[in-house]
Amino acid sequence: MERRALYFAVLVCFGLQSGQAASDAKPVLSSATTAAEADLVDITSLVPDITLDMRYAGADNFVGAPIDGYGAARCLLKSRVARALADVERNLRKRAMRLQVFDCYRPVRAVNRFVEWATDPGDQKTKAQHYPNLDKSELLGDYIAPVSGHSRGATIDLTLKKCDDRGTHCRTLDMGTDFDFFDPRAHTDSTRVSNAQRANRQRLRAAMQAGGFKNYPMEWWHYRFETEPSPETIYDVPIEKRP
């Protein structure tokens, strides 16, 4: 099936199953074929030494394999969003903290791959690590939507690091769960984690909110830039290695 046809078939099939999905209703698929045409910039052009841990470019993710569209471990964002994130990073460094990024812009073809995986009950190899307490069929909607805000280039998944006074040695803060852990414990304000873990989530949320980003309450790592540059447009530009 053609990629565009698959996208719309998925949207019709699953409908709008959650508040997150509803906010992504009736998007327009851009005709852009390059990052430049989509106004997507690499965050390292603004913060060269930002910590990247791009999970979907490798096999350390809930699918257990590199994801379609991720030809390189790069963080691309709409230019205005990238500048806002760079400001968050700079402000955190004044307090001996840094960001660690898991995912940024996500091509539509990658979202289609997630939905394909979620509807395959025979593939359960990542259940223990990513959704131990949920049936796989429950992931569609709240956790895996047929249309993702990431495809608009204004949503980012990330965590927080604490550094020494010189900023040379940093450690990832304990958030109570790993990234892409589909469970109520991953809800930002969950009471099922320790006070210290919840405080770390609140640190991250405060830093991101100050930069204009809003948290998705079911995932402590998930933030959307509130004044999105193109809220009704999604992109399928592949993430490629630098020229």
Does residue 78 contact residue 84 with C-beta atoms inside 8 Å?
no
Catalytic one of 37, 219, 226, 228 = 219
The residues pairing with 78 across neighbouring beta strands, listed in sequence order, are: 40
Active site (annotated) includes residue 37: no
Residues 178, 80: Cα–Cα separation, whole Å: 28
Residues β-bridged to residue 214: 224
Tokens of 186: 């991953």
Give, in order, the Cα–Cα distances in Å from 92 to each of 15, 95, 97, 131, 210. 39, 5, 5, 31, 11
Give CA–CA dist 94/105, Å, rounded: 27
The residues annotated with a catalytic role in the active site are 219
